[in-house]
Amino acid sequence: MSEHTTEAKVAVKIEEDSCSRCTICASLCPFDALRKDAEKDKTILDIEKCQVCGLCYAACPSHIIDILYYDVDSLTRYLKRAKKQYASDTLVIMCKGSAPDLAGIEKLFGVAKFIPLTVPCVGRIPEDVFLKAIIMGIKRIYVLACDEDYCRYDHGSPVEGRRIMALNLMLSQLGYGKEAIVLKRNSLKVKANSDLCIGCGNCVFYCPWSAPTLASPGLVKVDLGKCHGCGLCVSMCPAFALDLDNWEKDRISMLISQLATEMASPKILALCCQWAMFPDLDEKSNSHTRYIFLPCAGRADTAHIVEAFVKGIDGVLIVACAEDDCKLEGAGGKVQQPISTLKGRLGQIGYGERIGFCTISPRYPEAFANELSQFSEKIANIGKGK
């Protein structure tokens, strides 16, 4: 991992001098990254604790917090672009944590054609974005948040729920109907197929929430109330008896096949924890690199890594959060061991250097770019796989 100096570019900044000291941000921050320094009479941001959820950004009444990803400007640009691209006046804003595939959205909200906007936590969407969307001519807005207990940023889902309630009240007074913005909640869970279970107990051991139980051999049961959808058990199951909503094995396999055909050599596939790296909404795609965003690095399945090489990918970079930043009780760190075992085995046939593993945080926006360029350079030097 690269060293961060004090000059490293950071994703969140606070204009301390313009701050009204209301401390709303500090009361909302799930990670205690913001606090009021009574002595200096300032609100201080500790970037090392910040997870770039954006709750403070959306709630700041003085608009003195700058955020790099999904700020009002970039969201507005996206909406303008996407409205034309999708030729629709229906907007669906989804949290990455709970968004099923687009067909799932159709089922949940009963909409077929819509402008999709996926963000890491809907709690970062301020009122401005909804109002700008309505001004732009967007007729219906649907918001999909995580079930409150499963919000990766603790307060994101409940805060946005209250924000939408207040907005709807205002909008109804203006004559936009009673529920101008429709909010639903969802969470993605593990599916167990006990017909395939061989009773090894890996899921029971690895689950951070003790959701799976194995009462008798081959009869795995998952308490869905406890499951947080990290997908670690799926990656650890030797019998493929578990699967995860939205990140099903078949779906990821299909995605790998599709991405492998549309890339130019050397082909780099980044399997990213969706909380470790946020893609830039404005970024142009690079023909050598494709991403698969996972619910947690815990779902970075060795089976998919090998599969990617078989399908002609030249390098696979696994992007995880550092242990302290993991939103899923350290699930992301647990896959390091199977991945390093696989790296050793790939090493025996000359593929070992084609796997990369890095831990990064969106708080340092250049960190991922650096890791990716180093890895890409390494793969380009090794040359194409056979």
Instruction: Answer yes or no: are the C-beta atoms of 23 and 15 closer than 8 Å.
Output: no
Of 114 and 309, the one with the shorter C-beta distance to another protein is 309
Which residue's CB is nearer to another protein, number 237 or number 268? 237
DSSP-derived secondary structure for 243-267: EETTS-HHHHHHHHHHHHHHPPSSP
Can residue 174 be called a binding residue for another protein (CB under 8 A)? no
Give CA–CA dist 184/146, Å, rounded.
8
Minimum CB distance to another protein, residue 327 (Å):
24
Give yes or no for residue 346 binding another protein (CB under 8 A): yes
Contact 55, 155 (CB under 8 A): yes
- Based on CB atoms, which residue is closest to another protein, 179 or 248? 248
Residue 352 binds to another protein (criterion: CB under 8 A): no
Q: Which stretch binds another protein (CB under 8 A): 7-15, 103-111, 219-227, 343-351?
A: 343-351
Minimal distance in Å, beta carbon 189 to another protein? 21
348 part of the interface to another protein, by CB under 8 A: yes
Among 258, 310, 340, 383, binds another protein (CB under 8 A): 310
Q: What is the DSSP string of 116-168?
A: EEEES-GGG--HHHHHHHHHTT--EEEEEEE-GGG-TTSSHHHHHHHHHHHHH
Q: Give the range of 75-83, 284-292, 321-329, 344-352 binding another protein by CB under 8 A.
A: 344-352
- Site for another protein contains 216 (CB under 8 A): no
**Residue 302 lies near another protein (rule: CB under 8 A):** yes
Helix/strand/coil for 173? helix
Q: How far is the CB of 349 from another protein (least distance, A)?
A: 4
Count of residues that bind another protein according to CB under 8 A: 24
* Interacting positions 181-210 with another protein (CB under 8 A): 196, 198, 200, 202, 205
Grouping H, G, I as helix, E, B as strand and the rest as coil, residue 241 is coil
CA-based max dimension of the chain = 69
Rounded to whole angstroms, the Cα distance separating 265 from 261 reads 10
Give the C-alpha separation, 135 to 141, whole Å: 12
Asked whether 65 and 8 are in contact (CB, 8 A), the reply is no
Stretch in the footprint of another protein (CB under 8 A) among 56-64, 108-116, 345-353, 372-380: 345-353
Q: Which residues bind another protein (CB under 8 A)?
A: 196, 198, 200, 202, 205, 237-240, 302-303, 306-307, 309-310, 342, 345-346, 348-351, 385-386
